[in-house]
A and B are shown apart, each in its own frame.
Chain A
Amino acid sequence: MKALIKYHASAYVTSAKFVMPLLVYFLFLVGFYGNSPKMVVTSFSLSAAVLYIIMVWAGFVFSDSEEAIAEQILILKAKKISTYYISKIVFLFVFSCFMSFIGIIAPALFNVIFKVSGKTLFYKPQDGKLEGLTVASILIGFLIHVLAGFLGGTVGFAFHPRIFRNRKVTVIVAMLVGFMGFVKGALMVDFKMAKFFVWIFPPMYDLVKSADNPEVTNVFPIGDMIVPLLVVVVYSVVLSALCVFAVKKKGF
């Protein structure tokens, strides 16, 4: 498993397919955190949501990037089809951690830069006081980023070329499903009946909504977030398992 993950990392890096998602996220972070003041919770929630969408894209590209013959060779070496695909999903988790690290280190760096120039990046809107980042915000923010990124990665990966052969249509459907995970809340407000089917879409909206406590904007309401976080984990794992089952069943 470890050797397979190292292979995926090496293949992904040498193919340079990570560059565009990384660049887009980097530009978002610079553009977003380049202006102060910001609120910790809403900023991190938005950054996690953007990472989720970027990871849908990265997961889709990753699933599309390996040629069937290369997969066949490695599957025979790994001896199990499921081991091979699970290793790919674990790699997506590792990549999500890497992107999340950037998503958290960027505001921390901007915070330091703003402090040097006598300002502060984050503030509390209740009393208008300026404040720095707390360790708790950083840790919970990182966790949200990782899970949101992994959720996006598994959504993109689930549209695997062996399951969905028409790639031109599939790329549109994958991005649509990704966005639906985000906008399903608005859909439920406008169409009451939507609640009966939107549960099928990724639970990204539920996670962002749980973090959005108007009373407290500088501390994550972790108590309210536990269930949505668990739902994200379960959704990602179940989706990954279904994807592995489908590619295994489909064969070459």
Chain B
Amino acid sequence: MGQVIIEAHGLCKYYGGRTILQDVNIKIERGDAIALIGHNGTGKSTMLRMLSGLSSPSSGRILRSPDLKFAFIPENFPKLSMTVDKYIEHAGQIEGLTKKEVHEIADELYRMFYMEDMVDIPIKHLSKGTIQKVAVVQALLTQPNVILLDEPLAGQDIKSQKNFMKIIKDMNDNGVTVVMSCHEVFLVNQLAKSAYEIKNKTMVAIPVKRKQYTQESTLDAMLFDKGSGLSNVSPEVLQWVQHSTENDDVIQLIINREKSNEVLRIMLRDGFELRGMKGV
């Protein structure tokens, strides 16, 4: 059994007379990778904030090892007027890095996330996906003890998602504790060692079918003309979808490779047109 770094007993949280979480108990060990799953508004983000000390429980208590260093990747990074590079420089310096160190680390991260050409643009002018990459880069400047991920893949392109998962997996292998709130089943399966569903205001442990990240290209990304939209994709297909995104023109589905042919057949049958496909 590893060293317990965060321990919560009987946590309750109320907002404006409404109960968000009730009698939640959890022990987090060093090197854990925990996923919190649940619908929007069930209290996943609140739980992350309480674990990190940003928010206090209405009742119950949380014990943390002293001097824990947290990093946080939020779901919606703010649209700041500052340029990417300036923000990252400040963020690194607040963590105690020198300007030179920040730039050395950040340049490598910009390269990994395909954003070298965007670092001089004010954050508020970037696309949602690129803003999310800024959120990722700021969190990876130094190695934390615990990294909190709140829907971290929102809007990121597939290659960046893959790089992100690899970095998080490596950090976790090096003893960094990961606590994430997410919807994506494939992220849970690839990164989480344990998972909890927040349901009826409490947390229930659920099984994780962990897949080794080293198993490359077990997924396919399929792009279809948007057609009648994601809401009209057949439930037969949706049961195999690990992750889906929708924009003005296309629907992107991430599918287990063994189901790709079947998904393609059903989608074509239902009138969607294939725009592209690749292993990820």
Contact = CB atoms under 8 A, between A and B. Distances in A.
Given A11-B82, A15-B81, A77 B95 contact: yes
A16 interface: yes
A111 to B, nearest CB: 37
Interface residues of B, number: 29
Q: Is the interface of A mostly helix, strand, loop or mixed?
A: helix
Interface stretch (A64-72, A182-190, A198-206): A64-72
A78 B142 CA distance: 13
A73 B72 contact: yes
B81 A76 contact: no
A7 B55 contact: no
B123 to A, nearest CB: 10
A195 interface: no
Contact of A10 (B53, B72, B77, B82): B82
A6 interface: yes
Contacts of B93: 3, 6-7
Contacts of B74: 69, 72-73
B24 interface: no
Interface string A66-92: 010110111111110100000000000
Find the residue from A3, A14, A73, A79 having the highest chain B CB count within 10 A.
A73
Contacts of B80: 11, 14, 70
B78 A67 contact: yes
A251 B55 CA distance: 5
Contacts of B82: 10-11, 14
A73 B81 contact: no
Interface string B75-87: 0111011100010
Contacts of B78: 67, 69-70
Given A6-B90, A7-B94, A252-B49, A76 B54 contact: yes
B91 interface: yes
A14 B81 contact: yes
A11 B123 CA distance: 12
A147 B139 CA distance: 38
A78 B92 CA distance: 10
13 contacts: A3-B93, A6-B93, A11-B80, A11-B82, A14-B81, A15-B81, A70-B80, A72-B72, A73-B72, A76-B54, A78-B94, A79-B67, A252-B54
Interface of B: 49, 52-56, 67, 69-72, 74, 76-78, 80-82, 86, 90-91, 93-96, 122, 135, 138-139
